[in-house]
Chains A and B, each alone.
Chain A
Amino acid sequence: MRSLTFRGVSVRFGHGSHAMTAVDGVDLEVPPGTVVGLVGESGSGKSTLARAAVGLVPPSSGTITLGDTEPGNPRRFAPRLARPRHIVASPQARRRRQPVQMVFQDPFSSLDPRMTIGESIAEALPRRRDRHAEVRRLLQLVDLDPGRSGDLPTGLSGGQRQRVALARAMAAEPEVVIADEITSALDVSVQGAMLNLIRDLQRAHGIGVLFISHNLAVVRYISDVIAVMYLGRIVEIGPAADLLSAPRHPYTRSLLAAVPRIGSTLDDESAADGGGWRADILDAGPPDPHQPPAGCRFHPRCPIGPLAFPERSDCIEVDPAADAPARPHRAACHYVTDAPADRSVGRT
C-alpha cells in the first residue's frame, strides 16, 4: 500500500478572463490505512481535487503521485493522471489495476441503468479470473445478497446502490479510495450503516481513504486527519481530534460553530464561540471564485480579520498561505494565536 500525495496541485478551468482556479496549490497526503476527511463549502474545490486524483480532470500544475514513484520511473503514476485521456486510451492501461478508485455522491447516476449490478462490478475487475465468484465475494463484502448480481440498479434502494458502487471500487483492489459525499444522498437511517461499512473495509484492507463531505459530524466520526478547504486551498489540516478540539483557522471555527446540534438554538453557537463574532461579517456570501480576494482569501468574511480589526491590513495584502507550514495545523492565517485553546467539541 502506498500513499497518495498531492504536491502543489492546481486545477484551472477556462481560458483568459473566464479562467477559474478551482484548486490552487494543494499539498495533501493520504497515507495507507488512514482516512483523511476533506471539508469545505460547495465551490471550495473538494470535488475537483477528488476528480483530479482519479484522472477525470487534468491538473494544470503540480503532481499527484502514488507512493514514491518519481518522475522518470517508467511505471510512474502521475503522468498518466495528468493526461487522463491516456488512462483509458492506452491498451496496456486498460487491464492494469487502477489503484485509485472513487465512489460518487449520487448512487442513482453512478450505476449504468442498462447493466446488471454484477456486470458493473465485473467491469472493474483487473484480471480475467473467475469473475462470477469474484462478483459474489465483492457483493458479500458490502453486505449484499450475492444472488442479486443479476439485478438491474432500478430494483435497488439508494443505500443498496451505494453499496454496489463501493463494491465496484473495491473490485479494482484499490490502494486509495476517494469517497465524494457518499452519504449525502442517503437517508439518515442508511447513512450510519454506510459509514460503518466503509470504516470496516478501510481497516480490514488497510487502504487509504480521502473522505469528502460537508457534514462535519460524519467527517469527525470517520476521519483520522481532517483538512479544511476554502476557495481552492487547504486552510487548515491536522489530526481530527486536535483540529476539532482546537481549531486554528477562523473559517474552521465558523464551520464548527454552524453545525446544528440537538438542544442548541440558532443563536447560541456564535455566542458559545467566545469571540463575540459579528454575525453580519460571517453572513457575507462566499466570494466569486473567478476573482478570489487578494491577500487572505477569507478576509472579506473573517470575524477576526480587517472587518473586525481595521488595523489588520496584512490580511488584505499578504497571502498567509506562504508561511502556513510553519504554523500549527498548517493554518493559512496570520492571527492563528487568537484561536481559543480549547473547545467543547472533541473526541470524547
Chain B
Amino acid sequence: MHRRQWMAALRTPVGAVAAGLVAVLVVLAIIGPAIWGDAAGTTDMGSINAPPSAENPLGTDALGRDILARVLVATRTSLGLALAATAIGVTIGLVLGTLPSVLGRRSGRAVVTLVNFLVAFPGLLLALFFAAIFGVGARGAVAAIGLASAPAFARLVQTLSATVAGRDYVAAARIAGVGRARLVGRHILPNIAEPLVVSATTGAGAALLAFAGLSFLGLGVQAPTYDWGRLLGEGLSHIYINPVAALAPGVAVVTAGLAFALFGEASAAALGLRATRAPVTPRPPVEGLAWAGGEDSDVGTPPEDVVLDVQNLTVAFGAGAGAVRAVDGVSLTIRRNEAVGLVGESGSGKSLTALSVAGLAPEPAVVAADRLHVNGCSVLGASDRQLATELGTSVAVVFQDPATSLNPSMRVGRQLAEVVEEHEGASRSAALAEAVQRLRSVRIPAAQRRATQFPYEFSGGMRQRAMIGMGLMGQPSLIVADEPTTALDVTVQRQVLRLLRDVQRETGAALLLISHDIAVVSQMCERVAVMYAGRIVEELPVSDLMNAAHPYTRALLASVPDMSVDLERELATIPGQPPEPARRPVGCAFAPRCAFADEQCTAEDPPLAELAAGRHAACWHPQTTVAVPEVAPSRMGGH
C-alpha cells in the first residue's frame, strides 16, 4: 500500500539485512526438506560422531547422519512451530485485548483484571507450566508458548485500543449509532494495526528462542522429528569431540531470532516514517540560499535603544533546490518599552519568526538573516553556550500551552529556581526564595505553598503566570509571547495580558506578541505587523488598524465577528486558502484571494514600501478609503 516507505526501509542497513535473512530462511524452509531430506535421514554406521570432513562439512551425529543437512532441514520445523505459537498468542491476545471494548463496563473490567494478573507471571514460567499440563511434545510446546505470549500481547492491544477509543472519531461513530463490534473492527483495529504487526514480528523471534529452549530441555519436539533446539541438545553431548555439531544449530537459532527482531525493527521504522513524513510535494527552486550557514553581516547601525533588530530573516526547511522558505525576508525592529504584535493565520510563519528570534527554531530549520540581534548580540553566530548564557537571560519566552511548557514531574518552585541557579550561580535555598518572590510578583496567591506544588495542581491561567514569572527570573530585555492566552478563557486571558503588560512596563522590556487575535494585539501593542505566507505584508500603528492599506489586513479584520457585528448579514470570508510555503505563486502571494488583484499583482512581487511615517504595506494597490470596505458576503468552501 505504501510501497515508497517500505522501499526506503529496505535501503537502510537494518532493513536490507533483515530482508535478506528472512528471504534465506523462507527459501530454506520451503526447499530444505526436499533437497537435503534424504541426506539428513540416511544413517551411516560407518562414520558415527565423525568430525567435519569434505563429505560431512559439520560432521555426523550419533547415527552417522550429516549434521549440516539436518540443520538445514530443521529450518521448516523450527520456523513453522515458532510461527504457529505466535499465531496462537496473537489470536488469543487480540481477543482478550479487544473484549473490554466490546463487552459492557463490568465484564470488560473483569477481562482487564484477568490480563493484568496473567501479565504478572514470567513468560517462560507460564510456558513450562503449560508444557507440563499439555504433556511433552511439539503440540504441547506450541500451545504452551502461544498461551504464554498471549497476556503481554493482550495488554498491548488493550492499551492501544484504549488510546484510540478515547479519540473523537470513535465518539462520533458511537453517536452515529455504530455498534461496538463494528467500532472495534472499523475504527479501533485499523488504527492500532501497525504497532501490533511490529510487536507480533518481534514476538515470533522470541517464540523461536523459547521453542529452541523447550526442545533443548527435552520438553519440545520429540524424536524422530527434530528442530534446532533438539539438534543443539544432541550436539552438546559431543561438544568435546565435535564442537561444530552444537554450534551449528545454535548459530541457526541466533540468526533466525535476529532475522525476526531486525524485521520487526525495520517495519517499525518503515511504519514510523509513514506516520511522520508529510506527503512529498514538488518544490520550486530557491535561489540565494548559499549562505545557509547563518552568517550575518553589518548593514547600517541601529539606534541606541533598539532591543530586537531583525533584517531579512529567512527560515528555510531542506537544503539546495528543494529548500522551502517558511519565513521569507522578514525585517522587524523593536525598541525598549515597545510592544509589537505579529498577527497572521496558521502557517503564515509568525511562530517560526518568534522562535528564530529566541534562538529556538526547530532542528531541521535553516535560519539566516542579514542581521538578527538582541541587545546588540547576534543570535545567529552564537554557540549553544553563548545562547544559553546571553539569550537565556535577555530573552524570555512565553508559549501557547502552559500545560506542556512546564515540566510535569518537577515542583513549580524548583523549576523557577533552576533558572536563577543556572544563570546567576545562586545557592539552592537563595534561588528558591527568589522563585517564591517571582511567583508572588506574578500575583500567584499563597506563593510559598504554591511553589511546592506540581504544575498539574495549577489552573491554566496560573500556569501561564508561573511561565511569565519564570521568564522574569533572568531580567529579560525582550519578551517573546507566542499565543500566550489562546488556551485561556476570556477573564483569565485579560488577567494574563494585564500581567504581561505590567511586567513589560516595569522592566522596560521590549515585547513581541504573536497572536491570531487582532483585538488582543490591539490592546497590548503600539504597532502591528501582519504576516502572510512567510512575509510581513503590512506594518502599522494599532491606532491605524481600521484604515489598514493591505486588502489582506482589511479582510482579516472584517472576517472576525466582534460584539457589534450586524447579525442580519453573513460574516465576511476570505475565499480560498493561504498558499503552502512550497507553492507560493509568482507575484503577490495574496493575489489569488484578493478582490483588487490585477496583472501586475500576479506578475510582480510587491515590496514592503513606506506609505506614510510608520506605515508600510506590500501591495500594488494599497487601499485608502477610511472604513473597512464592505466585503461582499460570499460563502466559499475552502477549496
| A pairs with B | yes
Q: A42-B489, A261-B519 are in contact. Are A56 and B171 (CB under 8 A)?
A: yes
- Bound-state CA distance A97–B177 (Å) is 8
Question: Contacts of B16 on A, CB cut-off 8 Å?
Answer: none
Given A89-B180, A123-B173, answer yes or no on A217-B563 (Cβ-Cβ < 8 Å).
Answer: yes
Excluding A157-B638, A172-B176, A285-B459, 15 further A-B contacts by CB distance (< 8 Å) are: A42-B489, A88-B177, A94-B177, A168-B176, A188-B517, A192-B573, A193-B573, A193-B636, A214-B490, A216-B490, A217-B563, A261-B563, A269-B494, A282-B491, A284-B445
What's the interface size class on B, roughly?
A: 35 or more
A98 and B176 form a contact (CB under 8 A):
yes
Are A110 and B172 neighbours in the complex by a CB distance under 8 Å?
Answer: yes
Question: Is B186 interfacial (CB-CB < 8 Å)?
Answer: yes
Tell me whether B557 and A143 are in contact (CB under 8 A): no
Closest to A139 in B: B637
Q: Does B506 contact A (CB under 8 A)?
A: no
Q: Across the interface, do A104 and B639 meet the contact criterion of CB distance under 8 Å?
A: no
Flag B341-366 by CB within 8 Å of A: 1 or 0 each. 00001100000000000000000000
CB-based nearest A residue for B102:
A89
A200 — which chain B residues lie within 8 A by C-beta?
635
Interface residues of A in 73-132 (CB under 8 A from B): 84-85, 87-89, 91, 93-98, 100-102, 104-106, 109-115, 120, 123-124, 126
Minimum CB–CB distance from B62 to chain A (whole Å) comes to: 56
In the complex, which residues 610-639 of chain B have their Cβ closer than 8 Å to any Cβ of chain A? Answer: 633, 635-639
Chain A residues within 8 Å of B489, by CB: 41-42, 214
- By beta carbon, the residue of chain B nearest A197 is B635
B456 within 8 A of A: no
B-contact 0/1 string along A277-320, CB 8 Å cutoff = 00100111110000000000000000000000000000000000
Which of A94, A171, A260 has the most chain B CB atoms closer than 10 A to its own CB? Answer: A260
B169 pairs with A264, CB closer than 8 A: no
Asked whether A160 lies within 8 Å of B460 as measured between CB atoms, the reply is no
Q: Which of A225-269 contact B (CB under 8 A)?
A: 244, 254-256, 258-266, 269
The docked-state distance in angstroms from the alpha carbon of A144 to that of B517 is 27
* B443 in the interface (beta carbon within 8 A): yes
Residue A190 contacts which of B167, B494, B563, B638 (CB distance < 8 angstroms)? B638
- Return the CB mask of A164-207 against B: 1 if under 8 Å, else 0: 01001001100000000000000111111101110110000000
Nearest CB of chain B from residue A107's CB, rounded to whole Å: 9
Given A42-B460, A255-B491, A262-B546, is A157 in contact with B577 using a C-beta cutoff of 8 Å? yes
Pair B168/A266 contact, Cβ less than 8 Å: no
Residue A159 interfacial (CB < 8 Å): yes
Task: Write the chain B residue with the least CB distance to A148.
Answer: B639
B561 in complex: contacting residue of A102, A192, A258, CB < 8 Å? A192
CA–CA, A215 and B441, complex, Å: 29
Are A265 and B523 CB-contacts (below 8 A) given A123-B178, A192-B561, A258-B491?
yes
Residues in B with CB closer than 8 Å to A56 are: 171, 174-175
The docked-state distance in angstroms from the alpha carbon of A141 to that of B346 is 26
Cα A191 to Cα B172 with chains together (Å): 21
User: What chain A residues lie within 8 Å of B559 (beta carbons)?
Assistant: 188-189, 191-192
B602 at interface, CB cutoff 8 A: no
B4 within 8 A of A: no
In whole Å, how far is A109's beta carbon from the nearest beta carbon of chain B? Answer: 5
Inside 8 A of B518's CB, which chain A residues have their CB?
262
Number of A interface residues, CB 8 Å? 91
B104 at the interface (CB under 8 A from A): yes
B479 to A: closest C-beta gap in Å: 16
A158 to B186, CA, bound (A): 23
Whether A88 contacts B180 in the complex (CB less than 8 A), given A104-B172, A115-B186, A192-B561, comes out as: yes
Contact of B497 with A by CB under 8 A: yes
Whether B637 lies near A168 (C-beta < 8 A) is: no
CB distance from A250 to the nearest CB of B (A): 12
Q: Is B383 an interface position by the 8 A CB rule?
A: no
- B462 to A285, Cβ gap below 8 A? yes
Chain B residues in 8 Å Cβ range of A260: 490, 493-494, 497, 517, 519-520, 522-523
Question: Which of chain B's residues have a CB closer than 8 A to the CB of A89?
Answer: 104, 179-180
| Given known A-B contacts A285-B445, A285-B462, A88 and B635 have beta carbons under 8 A apart | no
Docked complex Cα distance between A255 and B545 (Å): 25
In this complex, what residue of B is CB-closest to A180?
A: B168
Minimal beta-carbon separation of A42 from chain B (angstroms): 6
- Whether the Cβ atoms of B572 and A192 lie closer than 8 Å is yes
Q: Is the CB of A196 within 8 A of B555?
A: no
Whether, in the assembled complex, B105 has its beta carbon less than 8 Å from a beta carbon of chain A, the answer is yes
The 5 A-B pairs of least Cβ separation, nearest first, read A143-B637, A192-B571, A124-B176, A41-B489, A110-B168
- Are B180 and A98 in contact (CB-based, < 8 A)? no
Q: Are B572 and A114 in contact (CB under 8 A)?
A: no
Closest residue of chain A to B499 (Cβ to Cβ) is A283
Min CB–CB distance A59 → chain B (angstroms):
16
Q: Are A189 and B574 in contact (CB under 8 A)?
A: yes
List chain B residues, Cβ under 8 A from A285: 445, 459, 461-462
B501–A88 touching, CB < 8 Å: no
Cβ of A15 within 8 Å of any chain B Cβ, yes or no, is no
Considering only residues 554-599 of chain B, those with a C-beta below 8 Å from chain A are 555-557, 559-567, 570-574, 577
Contact of A160 with B176 in the complex, beta carbons under 8 Å: no
Q: Which residues of A contact B555 (CB under 8 A)?
A: 189
| Residue A145, interface by CB 8 Å | yes
A266 touches B169 (CB 8 A): no
* Interface flag for A22 (CB, 8 Å): no
Measured CA separation A254–B183 after assembly (Å): 44
| Interface hub of B546, B562, B635 (most chain A Cβ within 10 A) | B562
Bits for B497-533, please: 1 = Cβ < 8 Å to A, else 0.
1100100000000000000111110111000000000
Q: Which residues of A contact B445 (CB under 8 A)?
A: 284-285
B405 at the A/B interface (Cβ < 8 Å)?
A: no
Give the residues in chain B near A189, CB-CB below 8 Å: 345, 555-556, 559, 573-574
Contacts of A98 in B (CB 8 A): 175-177
22 chain-A/chain-B pairs, Cβ below 8 angstroms? A55-B175, A85-B104, A98-B176, A109-B167, A111-B169, A143-B637, A155-B279, A157-B638, A171-B176, A188-B345, A193-B573, A255-B491, A260-B523, A261-B523, A262-B522, A262-B562, A264-B523, A282-B495, A283-B443, A285-B462, A347-B567, A348-B564
CA distance A144 to B167 in the complex (A): 24
Cβ-closest chain A residue relative to B517? A260
Chain B residues, Cβ within 8 Å of A144: 637, 639
* Residue contact B571 to A196, C-beta cutoff 8 Å: yes
B427 at the interface (CB under 8 A from A): no
Task: Tell whether A2 is near chain B: CB-to-CB under 8 Å.
Answer: no
Whether B638 lies near A123 (C-beta < 8 A) is no
Check if B573 sits within 8 Å of A263, measured CB to CB. Answer: no
Counting chain A CB atoms within 10 Å of each CB, the highest count among B177, B279, B489 belongs to: B177
When chains A and B are docked, how far (Å) is the Cα of A157 from the Cα of B579? 12
**A262 and B571: CB pair below 8 A?**
no
A266, B639: Cβ atoms under 8 Å?
A: no
A336 interface residue (CB < 8 Å to B): no
A64 near B: Cβ within 8 Å? no
Q: A284: nearest residue on chain B (CB-CB)?
A: B445
A111 to B519, CA, bound (A): 32
Q: Which of B172, B517, B519, B574 has the most CB atoms of chain A within a 10 A radius of its CB? A: B172
Q: Does A11 contact B (CB under 8 A)?
A: no
Is there an interface contact between A114 and B190, defined as CB atoms closer than 8 Å? Answer: yes
Is A54 interfacial (CB-CB < 8 Å)? Answer: yes
Smallest Cβ distance from A78 to chain B, in angstroms? 16
Q: How long is the Cα–Cα vector from A324 to B563 in the complex, in angstroms?
A: 27
A-contact bits for B147-184, CB 8 A (1 contact / 0 none): 00000000000000000000111011111111110010
In whole angstroms, how far apart are the Cα atoms of A61 and B235 in the complex?
73
Q: Is the CB of A112 within 8 A of B565?
A: no
Residues in A with CB closer than 8 Å to B105 are 85
Q: Which of A55, A95, A104 has the most CB of B within 10 A?
A: A104
The answer to whether B187 has its CB under 8 Å from any CB of chain A is yes
* Bound form: Cα–Cα A196–B191 in Å: 34
Centre residue among B461, B494, B518, B556 by max chain A CB count within 10 A: B494
Query: Which A residue sits closest to B275, measured CB to CB?
Result: A113
